[in-house]
């Protein structure tokens, strides 16, 4: 055993030595001591925050690469290299649309460097500035949301600052992205007016201008279910089958024995899927999210569900004029002033997860919540259930969160 180990060890050492010798032998040995001729006929094509240079390479046989040296301001000098097999080189990191100087050098295998070829270039607008032009930020629940477009998919940092408890503007969070469209939310902010500012930085430490706004983050509260009332409108289904009350959906009792369910069409003609029902919230709220508690043992839990809302003093006049199953239902809702707050598709045909999925509590975000208006009424539309029954669904509880609307 010992002998085997020893011989393994020896062969390990031998191979290491062999590798080390090989490395040395493969190193560059050619150095003619003669610098290459400079690159010639340099032209450039402007790019966002940079330029692509094109040139003729010198004819030197030992040419290895072309190097660009340039300053992007504030003492920052950058270097880029391009192999002898191509005749272009990209330099980037410029933050302004103005003339910059780039020096190009041809370098050979012995690291002999040519005389510089100097070219003046003007880049297009830098991504940090382009992003900032259309960037928007606004009050969100518990904070501030920043949204932007990044057409060149540049790697950038979005920095959001706020006035802290000492009254000083301080960086709160930095978000990194290279997505075409992106957003993020600074959370944990108090429901009081405060100054928030946003700026964009790139990997060369270029900063955009700063944009500042006074914003009041929205306070999220759980809606008072004591104010809720079922409001039956024409074409609404009345979910009170099996002797269960509609109000079971907002009594804070979460149980398989306390639910609401839809009825057969001979009892309620408006319960064919997709069907809907309307709740008067009793007050006006800007909704942020809602929760549906299904039955834990139920195949008739919804898996395709929408929430709509409206703020009106005349809900009868705002009702849809087409039946719930009409293919123009959605247009008709919009024509009557309703706003779609969320559309959730939980469908999953994988038998391995089917039973867990259908019993899941569903927390649903209102789409683009901070930009949605306050609503007094909501309409829940059930479009499909796990059992795909043509009219039966059930659920035990609904809960809503949002901000009370300003008077």
- If one asks whether residue 240 binds Ca ion (CB under 5 A), the answer comes out as no
**Beta carbon nearer to Ca ion, 93 or 294:** 294
Question: Which position among 17, 21, 32, 181 is part of the footprint of Ca ion (CB under 5 A)?
Answer: 32
Question: Which position among 305, 396, 399, 400 is part of the footprint of Ca ion (CB under 5 A)?
Answer: 396
Contacts of 164 (CB under 8 A, 6+ apart): 170
- If one asks whether residue 244 binds Ca ion (CB under 5 A), the answer comes out as no
**Beta carbon nearer to Ca ion, 248 or 319:** 248
Q: Of all residues in this chain, which one has the CB nearest to Ca ion in the complex? A: 108
Per-residue contact track with Ca ion, 261 to 300, x per CB under 5 A?
Answer: ----------------------------------------
- If one asks whether residue 320 binds Ca ion (CB under 5 A), the answer comes out as no
Copy the structure tokens of residue 49. 């925050």
Alpha-carbon span 9 to 32, nearest angstrom: 43
Applying the rule CB under 5 A, the residues between 195 and 214 that interact with Ca ion are: none
Question: Which position among 80, 108, 236, 306 is part of the footprint of Ca ion (CB under 5 A)?
Answer: 108
- If one asks whether residue 62 binds Ca ion (CB under 5 A), the answer comes out as yes
Alpha-carbon span 184 to 172, nearest angstrom: 13
Shortest distance (Å) from residue 32 CB to Ca ion: 4
Half-sphere exposure of 180 (CA within 13 A, CB side): 0
Q: Are 277 and 393 in contact (CB under 8 A)?
A: no
**Beta carbon nearer to Ca ion, 218 or 237:** 237
Residues contacting Ca ion: total by CB under 5 A: 10
Copy the structure tokens of residue 170. 């301080």
Alpha-carbon span 312 to 376, nearest angstrom: 7
Q: Nearest-CA neighbor of 122 among 165, 85, 91, 148? A: 91
**Beta carbon nearer to Ca ion, 225 or 376:** 225
Shortest distance (Å) from residue 397 CB to Ca ion: 4
Contacts of 20 (CB under 8 A, 6+ apart): none
Q: Nearest-CA neighbor of 311 among 382, 217, 402, 240? A: 402
Alpha-carbon span 79 to 102, nearest angstrom: 10
- If one asks whether residue 248 binds Ca ion (CB under 5 A), the answer comes out as yes
Shortest distance (Å) from residue 396 CB to Ca ion: 5
Copy the structure tokens of residue 140. 């969100």
Alpha-carbon span 383 to 187, nearest angstrom: 34
Stretch that binds Ca ion, among 55-63, 73-81, 201-209, 341-349 (CB under 5 A): 55-63
Which positions lie near Ca ion, rule CB under 5 A?
Answer: 32, 34, 62, 108, 248, 251, 253, 258, 396-397
């Amino acid at each position: 055993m010992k002998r085997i180990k020893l011989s393994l060890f020896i062969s390990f050492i031998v191979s290491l030595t062999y590798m080390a010798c090989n490395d040395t032998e493969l190193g560059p040995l050619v150095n003619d001591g003669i610098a290459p001729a400079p690159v010639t006929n340099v032209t450039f094509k402007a790019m966002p925050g940079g330029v692509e240079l094109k040139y003729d390479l010198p004819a030197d046989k030992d040419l290895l690469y072309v190097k660009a040296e340039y300053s992007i301001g504030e003492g920052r000098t950058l270097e880029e290299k391009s192999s002898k097999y191509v005749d272009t080189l990209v330099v980037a990191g410029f933050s302004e649309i103005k003339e910059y100087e780039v020096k190009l050098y041809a370098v050979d295998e012995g690291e002999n460097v040519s005389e510089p070829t100097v070219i003046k270039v003007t880049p297009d607008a830098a991504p940090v500035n382009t992003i900032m032009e259309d960037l928007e930020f606004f009050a969100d629940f518990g904070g501030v949301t920043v949204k932007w477009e990044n057409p060149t998919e540049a790697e950038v940092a979005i920095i959001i600052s706020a006035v802290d408890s000492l009254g000083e503007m301080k960086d709160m969070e930095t978000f990194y992205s290279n997505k075409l469209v992106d957003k993020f939310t600074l959370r944990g902010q108090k429901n009081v007016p405060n100054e928030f500012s946003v700026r964009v930085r790139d990997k060369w430490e270029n900063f955009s201008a700063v944009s500042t706004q006074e914003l009041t983050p929205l306070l999220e509260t759980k809606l008072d279910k004591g104010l809720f009332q079922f409001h039956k409108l024409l074409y609404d289904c009345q979910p009170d089958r099996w002797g269960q009350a509609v109000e079971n959906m907002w009594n804070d009792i979460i149980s398989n024995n306390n639910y609401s369910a839809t009825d057969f069409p001979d009892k309620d003609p408006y319960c064919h899927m997709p069907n809907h029902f309307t709740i008067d919230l009793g007050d006006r709220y800007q909704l942020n999210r809602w929760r549906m508690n299904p039955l834990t043992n139920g195949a008739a839990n919804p898996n395709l569900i929408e929430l709509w809302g409206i703020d009106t003093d005349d809900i009868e006049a705002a009702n849809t004029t087409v039946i719930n199953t009409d293919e123009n239902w959605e247009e008709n809702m919009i024509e009557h002033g309703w706003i779609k707050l969320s559309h959730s598709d939980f469908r999953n045909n994988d038998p391995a997860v089917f039973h867990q999925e259908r019993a899941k509590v569903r927390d649903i975000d209102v789409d683009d919540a901070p930009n949605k208006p306050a609503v007094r009424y909501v309409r829940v539309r059930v479009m499909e259930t796990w059992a795909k029954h043509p009219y039966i669904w059930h659920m035990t509880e609904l809960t809503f969160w949002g901000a009370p609307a300003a008077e």
